Amino acid sequence: MKERELKELICDIGKRIYTNGFVAANDGNITVKLNEKEYLTTPTGISKGYLRPEMIVKVDRKGEMLEGEYTPSSEVKVHLKIYEQREDVGAVVHAHPPYATTFAVAHIPLDFYLLPEAVYALGAVPVIPYAQPSTQELADGLIPYLQDYDAFLLENHGTVTVGTDLIKAFYKTETLEYNAKITYMARLLGRSNELSREEIDKLLAAFHKNNPGARHPGYVKFND
């Protein structure tokens, strides 16, 4: 996609995140990798529901502004650390979807096997130890998990999802939140029935067949 089209897509995804209630006020941020030296990022202090293409900022791999009239997101260092560690990642979405963030606040990893769509698309989702938002400590805290996972719960904070492109990264945020919502409501009922190990293995085999070379974390319970 051309740079202008990517800026328009960032604005569209920002509106979807905002209208879906995945962020409030000025929360959240989105980045897209243009090349090894340039990245597009949402600006700080602007609601994701009211973005315009001219607000999107271009930064280098150190987070220094290259183009734009607005200040880059304060969380851009977290995104840049992900790009540094994962060459396959082309976009990063950080949001605060309420159900997934509830698990982040409770420090409960999403390692439950209830929905085949979540099994296929995400696998296990770890909890990243707390660090103050917008700090290098938060960025560095992701490092031990980045090679194995595409979705993350940030303790007492929110979520991060990554993808080869922005659409895929956003879909993972949607899948993460929907899975968290169903898991939460099943817990309220006091009963849930997880998929069998055999069915999970079939779903994982289908994922790898349809996505050659792609990463999938599998399931922590089954790694013991």
**Active-site residue set:** 75
| Two structure tokens written together for 8 | 């328009």
| Beta-sheet pairing, 151-154 with 127-128 | parallel
The residue written with tokens 């880059």 in the block is: 72
> In angstroms, how far is CA 220 from the centroid of its own chain?
19
Residue among 37, 20, 10, 13 at smallest CA distance from 178: 20
| Two structure tokens written together for 50 | 């009211």
The C-alpha atoms of residue 114 and residue 99 are separated, in whole angstroms, by 15
Going from the C-alpha of 102 to that of each of 108, 115, 224, the distances in angstroms are: 9, 19, 26
The C-alpha atoms of residue 148 and residue 56 are separated, in whole angstroms, by 30
